[in-house]
Structure 1
Amino acid sequence: MKHHSRKVRLLVTAAILCTPQIAAAHPDLAEFEQTAFVEHPTTVDCTLTDGTAATCYEITVGYKPADLEIGPFCPATLNDAGGIWDWTGENAKLYRIDEAFLRMLDDLGYRFFDDDGAVHIVDNATDRPTVDHACINVSPAEDVTITMLLPVDPVMADQPTRLGTVGKVGVALDGVPIFSDAPSIQATGHMPALDICGGHVDPGGWYHWHATSTDIETTYGAAGVDAACALTQDSGALFGYAFDGFAMFGSTEADGATPAGLDACNGHVGATALGETYHYHASVDFPNLPPCLVGVQAADNFSTTATAGVGATRAGADGRNEPPRPTDGGPGQMPPGFDEAAAKLGISTDRLMEALQSSGPGRPDLAAAAKALGITEDALRTVLPPPPGQ
């Protein structure tokens, strides 16, 4: 089912949750492309989000794999074909970003192009959009590195964690970080276009996936999208590991069979090349990623050397923690804890994001955001998460 109508139940198969000691294959670092790592992975002491002391694999990667060709994202004109977008409004479905799609958005009140057919394109890491609706295309920052933690021994949580918008999902075998849904056009006004393999560049300058890219053509077939990802497609292959340490596979079993008995997070216990273990499967519909994670993640499991976007560390001029910057519909603006902050306020994550973005790129104007939400600035500041690593 489409993510715009999917109401993720925060329940996983009772048999799984009641048996925390099920066979759980360790993340196998040998499965990763070794060229993905900037430094050789190490094993470090870590603390899980439930406070448990644990051991984690520490993985450091670059802004993108050296041999990965990315794009196209935003088409330059209506005569060009760009990447893809999962539209969640009227006529909702996955689309190729081309003239037909952009004219449909125009008919719905979202105009992304000039009278001469030039598409409004903005690098929102450096520029503020001057139009109501722009296609976001961020330039890579080649010197950025990302460090991630994966539990060596996956542990089932008491309750699964809903991923929401721009939630941290995991890391692919090529070292590319994986995130859940990008922000909607309805929430931000802008479109952080995905390329034809389902990824784009964060405001921090590093590339990440919003899809199971090695099985994305199954999704294209289901949605009738005319696109082809250059990556080898294999619906039964291991794609990567979620941040709880459990493996993520394509939409079928290794023999091509449809997975049976999947829970609300699109996972189950079954035989894999890694052993009999809990693992996730991609869905057929976009976004073809787990909507929630059943295991316990490591605390502070994602950081970057970037100065913006997810994982960046910044301090406000007044010495207090500055919330990570949400930037006009671009990728990577949903920090850890953002969904929880919205829940504490009793509003949607999109509503909270929209309020924080109302002052444009840069440090959010918390006073203005609080006024828009009808609460005090102190109440807003109290629930917002600090920058990762603080």
Structure 2
Amino acid sequence: MFHFRRSTAVACLALAPLVAQAQINVDSISQDALVSTPESVDCTLTDGSTATCLEITVKYVPENLEVGPFCPAMIDDIGGIWDWDGDEAGLYRIDAAFLTMLDEMGYHFYDEDGTVHVFDIRVEGPTDDNECISGSFDEAVEMTMLIPTTPVMADAPVSLGTVAKVGVSLSGVPVFADAPSALDTGHMPALDVCAGHVDPGGWYHYHGTATDLDTVYDHAGVEGSCANAIQDAKVQFGYAFDGFAIMGSLEHDGSVPRDLDECGGHVDGDTYHYHASEEFPNLPTCLVGLQAEDNYSTNAAGGIGAEGKGPGGQGGRPDFAAMAEALGVDEQLLARTLEEAGGPQADLAAVAAVLGVDEDALRAALPQRP
């Protein structure tokens, strides 16, 4: 079964029925990331109401942003980080000590000569039982996001499971929730020290609050520092997809936030915002506000948010309704499970186990892989 790395159960929050909300600042998103100037557009929120959203289209990676390393080439090299959730769970640098520990547990990520098993998820699949996942960029890729300009509280919060959409950083990098567990497929989608990596579609995104990782590393006792984001626990990191700000682990005056709700946020003065935590992944665990429908899309050939592309990254978009009917499962559950399992490189045996269907039947229902 899939190992969901944080609880998807969220209790109802005692939210104030009326909260004055600050509007999203158009000028706060870095010009280095933008394909075009963000503009206000009409949008529909998840409760069916109409609203105004900021439409932000960004590049596959912001200009001048140094990313990586992710996977070490040799066991004695030092790669990025990984939040291991098996035995001896914790945040680790991907180095000899960590890989040796995994090897002793039966996860063999390197050969006798010290060569680490690595594959590029955008263009190929794994050939060994345990491989470190890297990714190459597709410079033609663009991503478009819709964020309500004036946030509106929802009746109940929406939980954020694995690879759920969280928001966008002020640097213009999309932000997603916890990366898939290596326990599900045996393969490790390595993150760099800024908690980011390259999607199977060829674009960079974060899985943590990049501006406050020094706090996380200090808390976990891990050697690391994110150089592509100024480390300041008091500053804003970005905006969640409900329009509320995501701040560091401290208030702007350096004080410790008080009375945080289950999503990691609170009302400070007359405005709600989220705070990063000291533990990785240091992101909100749920979103309290309404989001825009179809709030994330990309022209990428595969991966998260790809339109008109199937799990194999090629051809037409699969008919999930027909497949779900054939398998006797929920359409949204089928689509979400495939995406969370890695999209083009999904482990279909694991997907079948989660859905409770026969693996051969699942393979027959899906479009033929290239």
Check 1:369–1:340 CA distance in 2 against 1; reply closer, same or farther (3 A cut): closer
1:73, 1:82 within 8 Å by CA — same for their partners in 2? yes
1:355, 1:373 within 8 Å by CA — same for their partners in 2? no
Alignment of 1:1-390 (within 5 A): 7=7, 9-14=9-14, 16=15, 18-19=16-17, 21-230=18-227, 231-271=229-269, 276-314=270-308, 320-321=318-319, 341=333, 352-353=337-338, 361=344, 373-375=355-357
SS at structure 2 position matched to 1:133: coil
TM-score norm. by structure 1 comes to: 0.82
Deviations 1:181-228 (A, max 9, x none): 000010121001000111000011110000100000100000011111
Residue identity opposite 2:108 in structure 1: R
RMSD of aligned residue pairs (Cα, Å): 3.0
1:178, 1:211 within 8 Å by CA — same for their partners in 2? yes
Residue identity opposite 2:284 in structure 1: P
CA shift for structure 1 position 340: 6.2
Determine the C-alpha separation between the residues in 2 that align with 1:33 and 1:159.
Answer: 32
Determine the C-alpha separation between the residues in 1 that align with 2:102 and 2:294.
Answer: 39
Residue identity opposite 1:33 in structure 2: S
CA shift for structure 1 position 375: 3.6
SS at structure 2 position matched to 1:40: coil
Deviations 1:3-25 (A, max 9, x none): 977546523541x1x51x30111
Deviations 1:153-196 (A, max 9, x none): 11111111111100000000010000000000101210010001
Check 1:147–1:103 CA distance in 2 against 1; reply closer, same or farther (3 A cut): same
Determine the C-alpha separation between the residues in 2 that align with 1:54 and 1:354.
Answer: 28
- Aligned positions, number: 348
SS at structure 1 position matched to 2:271: strand
SS at structure 1 position matched to 2:36: strand
CA shift for structure 1 position 259: 0.3
Determine the C-alpha separation between the residues in 2 that align with 1:129 and 1:87.
Answer: 20
Check 1:355–1:54 CA distance in 2 against 1; reply closer, same or farther (3 A cut): closer
CA shift for structure 1 position 125: 1.3
Deviations 1:114-141 (A, max 9, x none): 1100000000111111100100110011
Deviations 1:224-258 (A, max 9, x none): 11111102100010000000000000000011111
Runs of 5+ consecutive residues of structure 1 not aligned to the other structure: 324-337, 385-390
Aligned to 1:330: none
Check 1:226–1:55 CA distance in 2 against 1; reply closer, same or farther (3 A cut): same
1:151, 1:298 within 8 Å by CA — same for their partners in 2? yes
Aligned to 1:329: none
Residue identity opposite 1:297 in structure 2: Q
Determine the C-alpha separation between the residues in 2 that align with 1:355 and 1:5.
Answer: 12
2:180, 2:341 within 8 Å by CA — same for their partners in 1? no
- How many percent of aligned residue pairs carry the same amino acid? 55
CA shift for structure 1 position 30: 1.9
1:322, 1:363 within 8 Å by CA — same for their partners in 2? no
CA shift for structure 1 position 35: 2.7
Check 1:138–1:161 CA distance in 2 against 1; reply closer, same or farther (3 A cut): same
Determine the C-alpha separation between the residues in 1 that align with 2:190 and 2:331.
Answer: 22
Residue identity opposite 2:107 in structure 1: Y
Residue identity opposite 2:212 in structure 1: D
SS at structure 1 position matched to 2:212: helix
TM-score norm. by structure 2 comes to: 0.86
Residue identity opposite 1:257 in structure 2: S
CA shift for structure 1 position 307: 0.8
Check 1:111–1:150 CA distance in 2 against 1; reply closer, same or farther (3 A cut): same
